[in-house]
Amino acid sequence: MEAAITFPSLGGRKIIVTGGASGIGKATAEILVANGAHVALLDVAENLSRVAAEVGGIGFHVDLAEPSGIARVVQQVAEKLGGIDGVVNCAGVVGGAALPQLDLHTWSHALAVNLTAPFLVCQAAVPWLVESGKGAVVNVASGVGLQPTMGAGADYAASKAGLLGLTRALAMELAPTVRVNALCPGVTRTPMVDFVLNQATDEQRDAFVSRYPLGRPAQPEEIARVIVFLLSDAASFVTGATYTADGGRTLH
């Protein structure tokens, strides 16, 4: 059995994870709770309460595509947990429509969830992150934000590239009190990715995976471990960085 990786500095930390009901967000919440953190899972999923109970966190139902409710929910998290020490912006949507078929609603929805929501969550959480003295933010972008792929969609690529720019800007603005970093995963076996792969032919799936030198998709916990590292004191001198965990696709 693989030995568990522990992060003692996370004990007692109060951390928001958006998109926490599934995939990378859920895996991140599980590792955080296992390391003694208090975790608030923000999601729109109907099964949020069940997942939150399973991982040992607290669920807060919020539609991140609706800006008006985000600050209120962050306030509720801070009141419930007694502060906020960290934020993981993991929620995301992918469209995949080619430019001629990409309508304005789909474009706007991708930017709302993938870029505007992380901005609003961070903005609302700043007072508590600063008060923490060890505040940390991890924005989960994508390898597509560094090097677009056919089929990912201009809406997804643009929103994730924008999230990398937001990360660097916040890292400068919030230093030295709050660290802000980004992680760019490659293809990961999440419900969103599985849905896309299930629509593809065997030939298309083989071609997709062949772009990755490691020859396979990641498991959610492989990405989650990097996120948790960036939140922890093990990354205490890391800010404004863009980490890749993409199986070598972009070969940084």
For residue 145, what is the domain's CATH number?
A: 3.40.50.720
Residue at 213 is within a domain: no
Q: What is the pLDDT of residues 60-108, one digit of tens each?
A: 999 999 999 999 999 999 999 999 999 999 999 887 788 888 899 999 9
Residue 214 has pLDDT above 60, yes or no: yes
pTM for the whole thing? 0.92
Residue at 201 is within a domain: no
Number of domains observed in the structure of the chain = 1
Catalytic residue among 7, 156, 208, 229: 156
Could you give the dihedral angle defined by the CA atoms of residues 129, 130, 135 and 136, in that order, rounded to the nearest 10 degrees?
A: 80
Per-residue pLDDT band for 3 (boundaries 50, 70, 90) equals low
Q: What is the pLDDT of residues 148-197, one digit of tens each?
A: 776 678 888 999 999 999 999 999 999 999 999 999 998 888 876 777 67
pLDDT for the residue 246: 84
For Cα atoms 232, 78, 185, give the angle at the middle one, nearest 5 degrees.
Answer: 40
Selected residue with higher pLDDT from 127 and 248: 127
Q: Count Cα atoms within 13 angstroms, Cβ side, for 4.
A: 8
Residue at 178 is within a domain: yes
Domain span holding position 107:
8-190+220-244
Sheet with 38-43: strands ordered across: 58-61, 38-43, 14-18, 86-89, 135-140, 178-185, 242-245
For Cα atoms 175, 165, 163, give the angle at the middle one, nearest 5 degrees.
Answer: 105
Residue at 22 is within a domain: yes
pLDDT for the residue 153: 82
Residue at 23 is within a domain: yes
Residue 230 has pLDDT above 50, yes or no: yes
Q: What is the pLDDT of residues 23-38, one digit of tens each?
A: 999 999 999 999 999 9
Per-residue pLDDT band for 1 (boundaries 50, 70, 90) equals very low
| pLDDT, the chain, mean | 91
Selected residue with higher pLDDT from 7 and 199: 7
Residue at 181 is within a domain: yes
pLDDT for the residue 252: 57
Residue at 60 is within a domain: yes
**Considering just the CA atoms, what is the radius of gyration of the chain in Å?**
17
The share of the chain scoring above pLDDT 90, in percent, equals 70
Residue at 205 is within a domain: no
Residue 248 has pLDDT above 70, yes or no: yes
- 156 is a catalytic site residue: yes
pLDDT for the residue 161: 95
